[in-house]
A and B are shown apart, each in its own frame.
Chain A
């Protein structure tokens, strides 16, 4: 079945440093979605990427979807303590059910 690998598993940074998490799928994706889960909270939708090579920005967050639609990345510029949480990518291989396969997530901690 489809597998979604995400690295790194953990990342600790000083406030102001940049952060990147990478996601790779074993199969070509219809789209990829990114979610953020704060400690003790539930996943919250951040963004969806659909097109090959797509790049989207949300303030300090930059999301990329690879040309082959099998990998993606999330980059945060100048991290802040409010960025703390686990970032999950989730791949949709297509089909009528829109089933998502989640990566294991990257836990980001930020030292003020």
Chain B
């Protein structure tokens, strides 16, 4: 149980284009989803927290107009990297959490490469 999927697993895009990443909880309802970014051999950096039906809460230094997050249902959250630049290349991981349960279940991640 508690499976989280992420799509796509890898994406290469041109600079200036937008990329959408989907995060789905497959067998539970995720009232909260988190989006992290991870640089090679580094820790996870929380980008934003999204609660179903509410606007996402962004961490300091994360541009909300660049990283658009939508959590329209209890099983789906999306992260859209708008007008991507090479410095946005990274490993993006989502995690999902059930109401009242403190454990976060992570998706497999999406490797983004912006050329």
Contacts and interface: CB of A to CB of B under 8 A. Distances in A.
Interface residues of A, number: 21
User: Which of B34, B41, B97 has most A Cβ within 10 Å?
Assistant: B41
User: Which of B46, B49, B95, B102 has most A Cβ within 10 Å?
Assistant: B102
Q: How would you classify the secondary structure of chain B's contact residues: helix, strand, loop or mixed?
A: strand
A34 to B, nearest CB: 11
Interface string A69-99: 0000000000000000000100010000111
Nearest to B36: A102
Q: How would you classify the secondary structure of chain A's contact residues: helix, strand, loop or mixed?
A: strand
Contact of A99 (B49, B103, B107, B108): B49
A102 B102 contact: no
Interface in B90-115: 93, 95, 97, 102-109
Interface of A: 31, 33, 35, 41-45, 48, 88, 92, 97-105, 107
